[in-house]
Amino acid sequence: MQWFHGVVKNGSVPQMSELVQKSLPVRLYSASTTAVHVLIASIDHWSKNLFAIVVSIAEMERRVAIIGAGMSGLVACKYLLQFGFKPVVFEADDGVGGLWRHTMESTKLQSTKLLYQFIDFPWPSSAKEDNPSHNQVLDYFNSYAQHFSLIPHIRFNSKVVDIDYVGGESNEEMKSWELSGWQVHKAEFVVLCIGKYSGFPNIPKFPPGQGPEVFDGKVMHSMDYSNLDNVSAAELIKGKRITVIGSMKSGLDLAAECANANGVKYPCTIIQRTAHWFFPDFNIWGVIAGYLYFNRFAELLVHKPGESFILSLWATLLTPLSWGIGKLVETALKWKLPRQKYGMVPNHNILQDLSTCLFAVFPDNFFDKLKEGSILIKKSQSFSFCKEGIIIDGEVKPLKSDIVFFATGYQGDEKIKRIFKSPLFQNYIIGRTTSTVPLYRYSHRWTNNSPSNSQLIGYAEGASNTFSSEMKSLWLAHFLDGNIEMPNIRQMVKEVKLWEDNLKQYGGKFYWKRCILHCGIWYHDQLCKDMKHNPKRKKGFFAELFEPYGHADYMGLTRK
């Protein structure tokens, strides 16, 4: 496999603009032109409309291929257009929205709409609810795409099959591809906006004779349920004894829908392994969390990757205050809802959930459904299937079920890994010794000690995923435009290790979630400095220290 290796001065990584504007010579490991080969298949005409994206380092014409037209793909396209690039977005569906196109009927925005808002495009006045429905979110995305004229740059019904690095093909080979139905799209850079929460469901493994194969009922992942239309989904669960494996947000939402459909006659049972600190709502508790956790003073209480000795000392000295704030919030949450009664008090502190983005908002009237008996919760670390349903660890009688839903999450890293065809490059993306993708600035990847011409957006999570993706897209546009001075590979590796260690310190066993919420301002400070902008975005000392940071603080981060 060949890989681009640009001329390196003092160990630094050359920028795309340097290669274009200054015409620096490019060295390759072989004499042929290095390229990225992306196979794209039209969903409706799989055998005829096949595309190949060739990402060539030899011809720099500011062409960028973006995979995915969800929220991250839209903002990436928008900022690249503003910086004079020529993006083409490949989307498997027939419209924008990504994951929001495949949700349960009851799904609505977790946070308030002001926290899930684009930097320069507010919600319309017609969206009056603080937590809009999934249809309103889709309308918002469509309006964004129309407003910034993104639709002409999107190829719908085009699914990326895989990406492969290939050597320079001859003109004869290219012609033979075209004759057999292949088309070629050339670009200099690939942006992966494929998301983590779709495509590759995480299904538990069972010993022989204890898995779904012995069960007489139906077994589905919550992803499959979300992909059903509303009528089919309602018919599926109506009058059924349903068990949901998993008690994160998708599991609770699914259980709530089943309870609404069947009531106490056919209660839905949730199998819970680990409880988490969910909020009663985000309208009040989101504001409280903002002032307690999402400002610069709150970040003084935690250690940050690459911090100075003084900041490290402050975080150590203020540890008791951080502990006290956490206990205060936990006490208030336990007082607000009867968690203890239903076994929903976590064994870990709230900072761990905030540091791993494993917090959410309970579905409407969730505890009322627990009280009336239409939802039941059973705690268990393991279970197995039998003919009638499932057998919970420590119990003899089976839990009789007609349908068992796995609300057990997704294999996000595996999804990213498998989009690359070459096993060798898959190991560059996810090594054998780690369960996460090592990314500089949580978006940029290098391979084989060389710069990468691909980037992931939407992989790391934060308090607001729209804002997080916008900041990474801005950084990407600045990077491709030559405004960012990249460190050498050794410094990148060191920085990634610092962030990895920090996540392990605060996230515990859930560090792999790649959440930057507990030091999100610190992270965005790094991006601002890279883009040569002032990271201090507030007016006044006390506002800078105590007011929560949000998307409005980062308007105007264009060229310097």
Helix (H) or strand (E) holding 182: strand 182-187
pLDDT score of 408 = 92
pLDDT for 477 beyond 80: yes
pLDDT for 134 beyond 80: yes
pLDDT score of 40 = 42
Give the orientation angle of helix 249-262 with respect to helix 230-237, to 10 degrees: 70
Mean pLDDT of 235-252: 94
pLDDT score of 139 = 95
Instruction: Name the least confident of 147-156, 248-257, 501-510.
Output: 501-510
pLDDT score of 16 = 35
For all residues of the chain together, what is the average pLDDT? Answer: 80
Confidence of residue 283 (pLDDT cuts 50, 70, 90): low
Percent of the chain with pLDDT over 90: 40
Selected residue with higher pLDDT from 82 and 282: 82
Q: What b/e readout covers 56-90, taking b as 16+ CB neighbours within 10 angstroms?
A: bbeebebbbbbbbbbbbbbbbbbbbbebebebbbb
Distance CA 67, CA 154 (A): 10
Confidence of residue 61 (pLDDT cuts 50, 70, 90): low
Selected residue with higher pLDDT from 297 and 510: 297
Contact status, residue 282 vs residue 111, Cβ threshold 8 Å = yes
Confidence of residue 164 (pLDDT cuts 50, 70, 90): low
Contact status, residue 77 vs residue 89, Cβ threshold 8 Å = yes
Mean pLDDT of 210-239: 93
Mean pLDDT of 210-216: 93
pLDDT for 200 beyond 90: no
Neighbours of 229 (CB within 10 A): 9
Burial class (CB within 10 angstroms; exposed 0-12, middle 13-18, buried 19+) of 45: exposed
pLDDT score of 501 = 87
Region(s) of the chain under CATH 3.50.50.60: 4-199+412-484
pLDDT score of 92 = 87
Contacts of 125 (CB under 8 A, 6+ apart): none
pLDDT score of 52 = 45
Note the pLDDT tens digit of each residue in 313-370.
999 999 999 999 999 889 988 998 999 999 999 999 998 888 888 888 899 899 999 9
pLDDT score of 184 = 57
- Using DSSP's 3-state secondary structure scheme, residue 553 falls into helix
Neighbours of 456 (CB within 10 A): 22
Note the pLDDT tens digit of each residue in 168-197.
444 444 443 333 344 556 677 889 898 888
pLDDT score of 445 = 62
pLDDT score of 165 = 59
pLDDT score of 443 = 65
Helix (H) or strand (E) holding 145: helix 134-147
Selected residue with higher pLDDT from 353 and 420: 353
Q: What is the pTM of this model?
A: 0.83
pLDDT for 23 beyond 90: no
Confidence of residue 288 (pLDDT cuts 50, 70, 90): confident
pLDDT score of 185 = 64
pLDDT for 1 beyond 70: no
Determine whether domain 4-199+412-484 maps to CATH 3.50.50.60: yes
Sheet holding 268-272, edge to edge: 218-221, 403-406, 242-245, 268-272, 375-379
Distance CA 96, CA 70 (A): 6
SS3 for 255-315 is HHHHHHHHCCCCCEEEEECCCCCCECCCCCHHHHHHHHHCCHHHHHCCCCCCCCHHHHHHH
Instruction: Name the least confident of 78-82, 151-155, 176-180, 421-425.
Output: 176-180
Distance CA 359, CA 279 (A): 7
Mean pLDDT of 94-98: 92
Selected residue with higher pLDDT from 514 and 447: 514
Distance CA 195, CA 160 (A): 13
